């Protein structure tokens, strides 16, 4: 199997979740070996996607340094991971990715519109060779060896609409689209009111997030899944793992993890000797089974 890009340029206009401002974005194909590259149009600065270029993780995953950074990249990158895209240019007219409907499904639809194109370089994968784990105040995120990519997540919120939720799945593009891509981000009314008072979450609405008061879900249409909250956490985690630029052959597990913990996990993985190996699909014994992951 070979590297992938998209067949044609696609443009989109949306709203920034935190800025509330209109955002224009274009995605374009790039040659083999280019990786995922962001361009901050106002400054002309080029921001290659890599763990070392992540500068903030408090409310979202942020690439590059202010004032030429690009925020809230995780939902888009989650879809990039799902479609097995290796090379892509993302041009942003602003400082934040469009939030779309708060999930990744709109980005999946963009990739469907653009089409996928096989390239001439063999696709490389990151194979986890030994377990790496980060912990913080009862929360954790880990990667351990597995012959297939898997994601597991649990959360526990003191809220009647959420409570304890756990979800796990064996990753493939098909299972991602069916089980993860439509899960929306969520926020509590009390938190959103505070964030907006300090000029954050200015674009948040029930059109692009699940809103909750102290007792219930505020969206009139309700939830897309009974456990949509934990599914969205997996969506975020997949996007945060894509910062490493490759599909991971291993098992990700987490409890109450965050963008910050996910970032610490990627840093620890890269810093731990013998924790991973970069190989082509042809070099993996189970390669025929893994091809189905990207179908």
The residues assigned a catalytic role are: 259
Q: What span, in angstroms and rounded, lies between the C-alpha atoms of 142 and 266?
A: 9
H-only helix segments in the chain: 74-82, 105-114, 173-179, 189-197, 228-241, 259-271, 287-291
CA atoms 257, 266, 71, 84: torsion sign: negative
DSSP state of 123: P
CB 69 within 8 Å of CB 62:
yes
Cα–chain-centroid distance for residue 76? 6
Q: Can you give the C-alpha Rg of the chain in angstroms?
A: 18
254's CB contacts (< 8 A; 6+ apart) are 139, 140, 141, 142, 152, 153, 154, 233, 237, 261, 262
224's CB contacts (< 8 A; 6+ apart) are 182, 183, 184
Peptide bond into 231 cis (omega under 30): no
3-state secondary structure of 167: strand
């Amino acid at each position: 199997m070979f590297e992938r890009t998209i067949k044609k340029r696609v443009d989109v206009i949306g709203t920034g979740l935190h800025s509330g401002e209109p955002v224009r974005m274009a995605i374009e194909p790039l040659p083999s070996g280019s990786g995922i590259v962001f361009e901050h149009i106002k400054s002309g600065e080029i921001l290659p996607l890599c763990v070392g270029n992540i500068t903030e993780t408090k409310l979202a995953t942020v690439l590059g340094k202010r004032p030429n950074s690009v925020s809230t990249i995780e939902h888009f990158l989650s879809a990039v991971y799902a479609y097995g895209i290796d090379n892509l240019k993302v041009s942003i007219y602003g400082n934040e990715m469009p939030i779309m409907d708060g999930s990744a499904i709109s980005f999946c639809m963009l990739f469907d519109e653009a089409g996928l194109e096989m390239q001439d370089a063999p696709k490389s994968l990151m194979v986890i060779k030994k377990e790496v784990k980060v912990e913080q105040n009862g929360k954790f995120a880990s990667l351990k060896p597995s012959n297939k990519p898997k994601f597991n997540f649990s959360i526990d919120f003191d809220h009647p609409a959420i409570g304890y939720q756990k979800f796990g799945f064996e990753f493939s593009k098909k299972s991602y689209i069916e089980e993860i891509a439509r899960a929306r981000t969520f926020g509590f009314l009390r938190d959103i009111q505070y964030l907006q008072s300090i000029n954050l979450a200015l674009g948040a609405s029930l059109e692009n997030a699940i809103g909750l008061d102290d007792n219930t879900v505020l969206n009139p249409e309700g939830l897309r899944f009974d456990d949509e909250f934990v599914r969205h956490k997996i969506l975020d985690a997949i996007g945060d793992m894509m910062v490493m630029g490759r599909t991971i052959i291993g098992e990700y597990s987490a409890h109450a993890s965050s963008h910050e913990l996910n970032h610490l996990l990627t840093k620890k993985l890269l810093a731990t000797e013998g924790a991973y190996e970069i190989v082509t699909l042809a070099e993996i014994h189970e390669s025929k089974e893994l091809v189905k992951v990207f179908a």
